[in-house]
Amino acid sequence: MTSNKENAKSTNRVLRISQLDALELNKALEQLVWSQFTQCFHGFKPGLLARFEPEVKACLWLFLWRFTIYSKNATVGQSVLNIQYKNDFSPNLRYQPPSKNQKIWYAVCTIGGRWLEERCYDLLRNHHLASFGKVKQCVNFVVGLLKLGGLINFLIFLQRGKFATLTERLLGIHSVFCMPQNVREVGFEYMNRELLWHGFAEFLIFLLPLINVQKLKAKLSSWCIPLTGAPNSDNILATSGKECSLCGEWPTLPHTIGCEHIFCYFCAKSSFLFDMYFTCPKCGTEVHSLQPLKSGIEMSEVNAL
């Protein structure tokens, strides 16, 4: 019997990562609801909700609390992950939902605490109440103690895996699965294959931006030129004068990079700025200097086309 109980507890125990994921989902939902709510007042006067922002947020969070924790014993994030709260003070081993007082105190500690913190910050920031220096120090001291308590509770949670927040520990409620979870067995070969493919994909994502595709094409084309027979310089100039070696159009402001081929000024300049080791895609010649096409013999040969 004891072994069965221990196995049931181990299988129904909520993982730490699941509890943290539920908290993150709750924060994401609150941000989404608030952004959607503020968009409703997009056409009104700017700053309309600034004065009553803590109260409006508290009303929205109370609305969410009413239809999540109060009625379903779980937040939205917990419902997504098949988790709900259990009364830890109950001596019964079976599932016992949080009492009504625990739910109300949960709303007071979470919603009321955040409202009080925001409203006190706004009040103490007011210039008319600047003389209450001791009150401000006391409030900051209390907030600091709560933050310290939350940090200590989080460290204990990481060790024991229970009570993810300080409010849960004070109220005696912790996360349990709504339905028993089956133990999933994953094959060792499958996991090795997945890890191998993920590692290979990350390596490709890291390697591909480092590959100079234009330079690789130039190398391949330079290897293929001896096989087809290299034409003389006059034929090269005659054929390259019709089009830019990069864009394939009639060269605008024709320039050369040190070889017989002709480029548009903007094509060659942008390629050189993008890659300092830019080479000619036709013959693989590196860029030594970008020079305009001379208006003498070379231009007469181009115009002869």
Give me the CATH number covering residue 252: 3.30.40.10
* Residue 218 located in a structural domain: no
* 131, 160, 181 - which closes a domain: 181
Q: How far is CA 126 from CA 28, 36, 103, 217, 272, in A?
A: 31, 29, 34, 67, 58
* Residue 150 located in a structural domain: yes
* Residue 149 located in a structural domain: yes
For the cut 60, the answer to whether the pLDDT of residue 48 exceeds it is yes
Overall number of domains in the chain: 2
* Residue 211 located in a structural domain: no
pLDDT band at 235 (very low <50, low <70, confident <90, very high): very low
Report the pLDDT value the prediction gives residue 62, as an integer from 0 to 100.
92
Same domain, 140 and 286: no
* Residue 63 located in a structural domain: yes
Structural domain harbouring 120: 8-181
* 146, 181, 216 - which closes a domain: 181
For the cut 50, the answer to whether the pLDDT of residue 8 exceeds it is no
Same domain, 156 and 246: no
Q: What average pLDDT does range 46-71 have in this prediction?
A: 88
Report the pLDDT value the prediction gives residue 10, as an integer from 0 to 100.
42
* 164, 181, 198 - which closes a domain: 181
Same domain, 45 and 160: yes
pLDDT band at 295 (very low <50, low <70, confident <90, very high): low
Mean pLDDT of the chain: 78
Same domain, 139 and 281: no
Residue type (1 letter), 193: R
For the cut 70, the answer to whether the pLDDT of residue 226 exceeds it is no
For the cut 70, the answer to whether the pLDDT of residue 173 exceeds it is yes
Same domain, 24 and 145: yes
Q: What average pLDDT does range 95-107 have in this prediction?
A: 91
Same domain, 177 and 245: no
Report the pLDDT value the prediction gives residue 60, as an integer from 0 to 100.
92
* Residue 128 located in a structural domain: yes
Same domain, 46 and 158: yes
Alpha carbons 163 and 171: distance in angstroms, whole number:
10
Segment of 36-40, 91-95, 300-304 carrying the highest mean pLDDT: 36-40
Four-residue CA torsion sign, 146, 151, 155, 158? positive
Whole-prediction pTM: 0.56
Q: How far is CA 217 from CA 168, 232, 239, 263, in A?
A: 63, 22, 20, 17
Q: Does residue 250 or residue 237 have the better pLDDT?
A: 250
Same domain, 18 and 144: yes
* Residue 129 located in a structural domain: yes
pLDDT band at 181 (very low <50, low <70, confident <90, very high): low
* Residue 205 located in a structural domain: no
Same domain, 262 and 134: no
Tell me which of 9-18, 25-34, 72-81, 126-135 is least confident: 126-135
Same domain, 126 and 264: no
Same domain, 133 and 260: no
